[in-house]
Amino acid sequence: MTQDAARALRAFVAEREWAQFHSAENLAKSISIEAGELLQCFQWGSEADPDEVAAELADVLTYCLLLADRLEMDVEQIVLDKLAVTATKYPVEKSRGRSDRYTEL
Amino acid sequence: MTQDAARALRAFVAEREWAQFHSAENLAKSISIEAGELLQCFQWGSEADPDEVAAELADVLTYCLLLADRLEMDVEQIVLDKLAVTATKYPVEKSRGRSDRYTEL
Amino acid sequence: MTQDAARALRAFVAEREWAQFHSAENLAKSISIEAGELLQCFQWGSEADPDEVAAELADVLTYCLLLADRLEMDVEQIVLDKLAVTATKYPVEKSRGRSDRYTEL
Amino acid sequence: MTQDAARALRAFVAEREWAQFHSAENLAKSISIEAGELLQCFQWGSEADPDEVAAELADVLTYCLLLADRLEMDVEQIVLDKLAVTATKYPVEKSRGRSDRYTEL
Amino acid at position C20, single letter = Q
For residue C85, pLDDT beyond 70: yes
The one-digit pLDDT tens for each residue of chain D (105 residues) are 567 899 999 999 999 999 999 999 999 999 999 999 999 999 999 999 999 999 999 999 999 999 999 999 999 999 999 999 999 999 999 999 999 999 998
Question: Would you state the pLDDT for residue B4?
Answer: 86
Q: Which of D25, D27, D32 has the highest number of chain B CBs within 10 A, making it the mutation to test binding with B?
A: D32
CB contact under 8 A, D99 and B29: no
- Mean pLDDT of chain A, nearest integer: 95
Question: Would you state the pLDDT for residue B3?
Answer: 77
A29: nearest CB among D32, D37, D42: D42
**Set of chain B residues whose Cβ sits within 8 Å of the Cβ of A45:** 25
Residue of C nearest to B46 (CA): C26
Question: Would you state the pLDDT for residue D3?
Answer: 77
Residues ≥6 apart with Cβ < 8 Å to D43: A26, A29, A30, A33, B99
A–B interface: beta-carbon pairs under 8 A = 193
% pLDDT > 90, chain A: 93
For residue C96, pLDDT beyond 90: yes
In angstroms, the CA C64 to CA D1 distance is: 12
For residue A2, pLDDT beyond 80: no
Question: Would you state the pLDDT for residue C16?
Answer: 97
Question: Would you state the pLDDT for residue A89?
Answer: 96
Q: Which of C29, C38, C47, C98 has the highest number of chain A CBs within 10 A, making it the mutation to test binding with A?
A: C29
Q: Which chains touch A (3 or more CB pairs under 8 A)?
A: B, C, D
CB contact under 8 A, C32 and B39: yes
CA distances to A24, C38, C40, C54 from C51, rounded to whole Å, are 35, 11, 13, 5
CB contact under 8 A, B99 and D32: no
C-alpha count within 13 angstroms, C-beta hemisphere, residue A64 = 37
A–D interface: beta-carbon pairs under 8 A = 39
% pLDDT > 70, chain B: 98
B–C interface: beta-carbon pairs under 8 A = 39
Q: Give one word for A88, left, alpha or beta, with left for phi > 0 and alpha for psi -120 to 50.
A: alpha
B99: nearest CB among A21, A29, A36: A21
B21: nearest CB among C26, C33, C44: C44
Quote the minimal CA–CA distance from A101 to chain B in Å: 13
Residue of A nearest to B83 (CA): A9
In angstroms, the CA B82 to CA C17 distance is: 45
CB contact under 8 A, C30 and B43: yes
Which residue from C6, C4, C16 is spatially nearest to C71, judged by alpha carbons?
Answer: C6
In angstroms, the CA A1 to CA A7 distance is: 10
For residue B104, pLDDT beyond 80: yes
Each residue of B28-44: pLDDT tens digit?
A: 999 999 999 999 999 99
Average pLDDT of span C39-49: 97
Residue of A nearest to D30 (CA): A43
Residue of C nearest to B34 (CA): C36
Contact D43, A26 (CB under 8 A): yes
For residue A52, pLDDT beyond 70: yes
Q: Give one word for D17, left, alpha or beta, with left for phi > 0 and alpha for psi -120 to 50.
A: left
**Set of chain C residues whose Cβ sits within 8 Å of the Cβ of A31:** none
For residue C1, pLDDT beyond 80: no
Each residue of A6-47: pLDDT tens digit?
A: 999 999 999 999 999 999 999 999 999 999 999 999 999 999
**Set of chain C residues whose Cβ sits within 8 Å of the Cβ of D59:** 82
CB contact under 8 A, D42 and C24: yes
% pLDDT > 70, chain C: 98
**Set of chain D residues whose Cβ sits within 8 Å of the Cβ of C21:** 99
Judge residue B71's burial from the number of C-beta atoms within 10 Å of its C-beta, 0-12 exposed, 13-18 middle, 19 or more buried.
middle
C99: nearest CB among A36, A44, A99: A44
Which residue from A71, A5, A59, A13 is spatially nearest to B76, judged by alpha carbons?
Answer: A5
DSSP, res D77 = H
Quote the minimal CA–CA distance from A10 to chain B in Å: 11
* Angle between helices D3-16 and D50-70 in degrees, nearest 10: 80
Average pLDDT of span C85-90: 97
pTM of the model: 0.97
Quote the minimal CA–CA distance from D86 to chain B in Å: 17
**Which residues does D contribute to its contact with A (CB < 8 Å)?**
21, 26, 29-30, 32-37, 39-40, 42-45
CB contact under 8 A, B62 and A79: yes
